[in-house]
A and B are shown apart, each in its own frame.
Chain A
């Protein structure tokens, strides 16, 4: 290892990343914009839903139930229908998210204190929104029943289910992962396309120096962007922070290093930038989907759960979400830090080996 050789390469990497104002803008602005857009737009809450009501019961409990539903926050538009056929048509044509059918014996059962079922038909094409709407509906029904049997449901850590509290910290991990992946995946393959990689290989510099030099600027970049987004979560979105900033910063560094290792592996085996970008795409999508961001890891089959453990994002999401809402204890953080360190070690040595093998 030779200091001046390494330094020259680190400066080269930083310059080629940041010298061009347009490249700089492309690197920095989109992730910040995405954070804003996703935080506000990509919400799981349901609003302005169209609901069809087919009420065959004239009794008071039925009227109250309908009033409660139609005045609920998530309902935007109510269509009153008078036949089963009309109700089915609305769903078939996709004009209503759900229909509520109250049978004529609803009030009678209710007053007699018996179970009083209603029929709800959901538009399965909008599965997510329909599920959420159904849960709202159940809450309303429960409230009605409360007068008879009191019951309490409370969401721990996020009692008002503010969706941004969940999304914004997670996005800081996902977006900084994508930046670090893109920056590193292109770095070796671009030099290969330009022919400068051969020039590096005939120089006295070693594969380890090449990999380290490509690693540092990407880690710096990913860390800065991740920190900016976490700061935005704290100050702009006011997500309550209950953990330790120091642990979180350390985890962010280790997380980015492990991602950079993956990016460099992709880059080292790619002949062209096009291959590298496709490679990143092929990895990034499943990494996000399996990380526990979209669905809980515990709900996956065993095999996929194992695979999820090899994804850096899985561990970082636990740490970042825990730091914000759950005052995650240090020992839990550590139990997720060592897998990150292991992934980084494996991928970075892998990338170095691939570069060395190309040489021999």
Chain B
């Protein structure tokens, strides 16, 4: 049965063509992934299906209805969960449910039964009196889902439900959604995460407003059978990745623990890589296929890192001892100790609310520890003189840039704030423009740029003063896989020069780039090891995500 029909749908916002003729069908009783990088048109399409936007041309039928003309009827047969939760944060869980029941016109007599069913389904029962704003990211999504399910809809539209949700909560969401499709509901799950796409039954792959692929994800992945390998060389992994990516017969390469994952060109045999190390064939993933479809990944060479001088030896670049921070009764960071060695990438991973950000903020001197100490380059940044702060480069979540200043003005500003002047200032700015290819958009405002470009600009601003230590707070959130590879190419290049990196992330494949991962849960570091060792703890052949869930559940059971 077909739940949604799209027929040559177009939509433009001003000069921007958001959707350039999308046609397709979405089946009932199946989970359909609406997949694509940031700005591909996913949200526009979802909002059209929900009757919130009108198509410029083309036709749309959702559950047999025209979303614009049959708005009233549509509201009963479509459940919609917007990107930013769509909850009233100042109301409790129960009050949110009551409000949505009221808005949806649920008969009074059905209230109790419906709420019981939804609270049971979402396991939010114990939290009905908690304010929605106080819930973790995962719980907010579950409550959002419950609100969208108040009247049992035929079609459920979820706009990026996985953003800001840790693997444990995400697993819960999957379980819930699978139960719903089992009842015959059509569920649309928009996402930029490709590992999420892989788990959908059907996939609509959007890129720049066009439908690039529509089928089961397995079909796309199968095309890469025999072209994906795992390589273990004697060389240092980052240097090996550079070598691999420099080869003409390689489509894509990423770091996986202390190995390299390689996708080769069609018709190339795995033996071609044998000169680099031990080669082992692996099953292709959806992300491999996605990159292949878009013409392969970027090269492994970072012109930015080439310009950087080698970092002189630094003793004890980042360390914290018994670091603790309380907010009232709540202990956000609880007795955390670790050291980062020079030229190492340390990843801070953990579910929402685990204390990653709090720990991170104390290290860079933005927050005062309740007890314990945090040191960067051997100094406490809170009391350190201004010069000591020159050792630190900081890239904030969501790329904090001045939206009212142009790209060039942002660069000039950060150069100035780090005390650069005269010819040196001009040289550094030019280096950043060349190294990160910022040239063509120097006079645009950052707000109008793609997320990937903003990320490059934010990196440029953080590196202007050539810091030996780099702090990255969720540096690739919402950025598409190709841009993410480019970003890590630069970071890998910098690490090669001796830069020390501390990074927080939600992406499991990003954890693979780290030399060591500190897994945080409820304010404590519950595991600190190399990605490979962590995976080994979860069993043979486990993925990073499985390792993450395993370690956290083990902790919770203990």
Contact A12 B409 (CB under 8 A): yes
Contact A359 B396 (CB under 8 A): no
Contact B416 A7 (CB under 8 A): yes
**Closest-CB distance, A269 to chain B (whole angstroms):** 17
Chain B neighbourhood of A201, CB < 8 A: 365-366
A198 to B366, CA, bound (A): 7
Query: Given A201-B366, A360-B368, are A11 and B413 neighbors across the interface (CB < 8 Å)?
Result: yes
Contact B400 A2 (CB under 8 A): no
Please report the total number of B residues contacting A with Cβ < 8 Å: 38
Name the contact of A2 in the complex, choosing from B365, B366, B419, B425 (C-beta under 8 A): B419
Chain A neighbourhood of B401, CB < 8 A: 194, 196
Contact with B along A3-36 (1 / 0, CB 8 A): 0110111011001100110010000000000000
A9 to B404, CA, bound (A): 14
Contact B417 A202 (CB under 8 A): no
Contact B416 A11 (CB under 8 A): yes
A198 to B399, CA, bound (A): 11
Query: Given A15-B404, A359-B382, are A8 and B417 neighbors across the interface (CB < 8 Å)?
Result: yes
**Closest-CB distance, B154 to chain A (whole angstroms):** 39
By beta carbon, the residue of chain B nearest A9 is: B417
Contact A195 B398 (CB under 8 A): yes
Name the contact of A12 in the complex, choosing from B398, B413, B421 (C-beta under 8 A): B413
Name the contact of A198 in the complex, choosing from B400, B415, B417 (C-beta under 8 A): B400
Contact B404 A16 (CB under 8 A): yes
By beta carbon, the residue of chain B nearest A199 is: B400
Chain B neighbourhood of A301, CB < 8 A: none
Task: Tell yes or no: B420 within 8 A of A by CB.
Answer: yes
Chain B neighbourhood of A16, CB < 8 A: 402, 404-405
Contact A8 B415 (CB under 8 A): yes
Task: Tell yes or no: A206 within 8 A of B by CB.
Answer: yes
A203 to B420, CA, bound (A): 12
User: Among B385-393, B518-526, B532-540, which stretch is in contact with chain A?
Assistant: B385-393
Contact A8 B364 (CB under 8 A): no
Chain A neighbourhood of B419, CB < 8 A: 2, 4-5, 204
Task: Tell yes or no: A205 within 8 A of B by CB.
Answer: yes
Chain A neighbourhood of B396, CB < 8 A: 195-196, 198-199
A343 to B364, CA, bound (A): 34
Task: Tell yes or no: A200 within 8 A of B by CB.
Answer: yes
Contact A202 B381 (CB under 8 A): yes
A201 to B381, CA, bound (A): 10
**Residues of A35-84 whose CB lies within 8 A of B:** none
**Residues of A180-221 whose CB lies within 8 A of B:** 194-196, 198-206
Contact A204 B418 (CB under 8 A): yes
Chain B neighbourhood of A194, CB < 8 A: 400-403
Contact A360 B382 (CB under 8 A): yes
A26 to B364, CA, bound (A): 38
By beta carbon, the residue of chain A nearest B383 is: A360
By beta carbon, the residue of chain B nearest A1 is: B386
Chain A neighbourhood of B400, CB < 8 A: 194-196, 198-199
Identify the interface centre among A15, A196, A202, A205: most chain B CB within 10 Å of its CB: A202
Identify the interface centre among B394, B401, B419, B420: most chain A CB within 10 Å of its CB: B419
Task: Tell yes or no: B412 within 8 A of A by CB.
Answer: yes
Contact B386 A15 (CB under 8 A): no
By beta carbon, the residue of chain B nearest A206 is: B386
A23 to B417, CA, bound (A): 25
Contact A15 B365 (CB under 8 A): no
A150 to B1, CA, bound (A): 102
Identify the interface centre among B382, B390, B418: most chain A CB within 10 Å of its CB: B418
A57 to B421, CA, bound (A): 90
Task: Tell yes or no: B397 within 8 A of A by CB.
Answer: yes
